[in-house]
Amino acid sequence: MATPEPQDISLEAGGTQVRLRWTPVAGDWELGSEPDWSRLEGIRLVGATFEDGATLGVAAVRPRDARGHGDDSVAARFVDAEGLQITPSDALVSVEYDPAREPRRIGIEIWPDADSPPLRIAADREPAEDPRPVSSRQFVPMTFRRDGIAGRGAYETLRQG
């Protein structure tokens, strides 16, 4: 199995380009450059690795004045246990928040192609000993599951700082 190389991903939202870099081996995201925050409400990033060796990356960029997640520009990548990379035709991310507005649970559906059923992935926030300070980059450790296979990763929210 070949090791997947890091990928540069560009998303357009609110009339501006957001450049990101996803590292499949670790499921990590980096900003390629500072986005034009005057046109964006935020960037949501999901990265996870699974016990079978599969990895997941999802990025959602929300333009300022968006009415909901339907206005987001979304990119998803999935590398299965054999190293086969899938660039889905569509992806949806749903987030459930607790009363303190901290992400509690996420649900992800990715369609490998338009005619196939979605791959469903869920995650729950890991218990935190101390409250996490809210800053321009909020990192929430999550426990993932996909078809009975456990994984670990994070849900990140980036906002103008």
Domain ranges of the chain: 7-158
Query: How far apart are the C-alpha atoms of 48 and 146, rounded to whole Å?
Result: 11
Tell which CATH architecture fits domain 7-158: Beta Barrel (2.40)
Query: How far apart are the C-alpha atoms of 127 and 131, rounded to whole Å?
Result: 10
| Token pair listed for 74 | 């979304």
Q: Is the pLDDT of residue 101 over 90?
A: no
pLDDT of residue 27: 81
Long-range pairs of 32-36 with CB within 8 A, sequence gap ≥ 24: 32/8, 35/61
**CA nearest 88: which of 74, 76, 73, 70?**
76
Model confidence pLDDT, tens digit, residues 37-96: 999 999 999 999 999 999 999 999 999 988 877 788 999 999 999 988 888 989 999 999
How does residue 100 score in pLDDT terms, banded at 50, 70 and 90? confident
Across the chain, mean pLDDT equals: 89
Q: Read off the DSSP letter of residue 148.
A: T
Model confidence pLDDT, tens digit, residues 9-22: 999 998 999 999 99
Query: How far apart are the C-alpha atoms of 112 and 89, rounded to whole Å?
Result: 6
Query: How far apart are the C-alpha atoms of 21 and 26, rounded to whole Å?
Result: 12
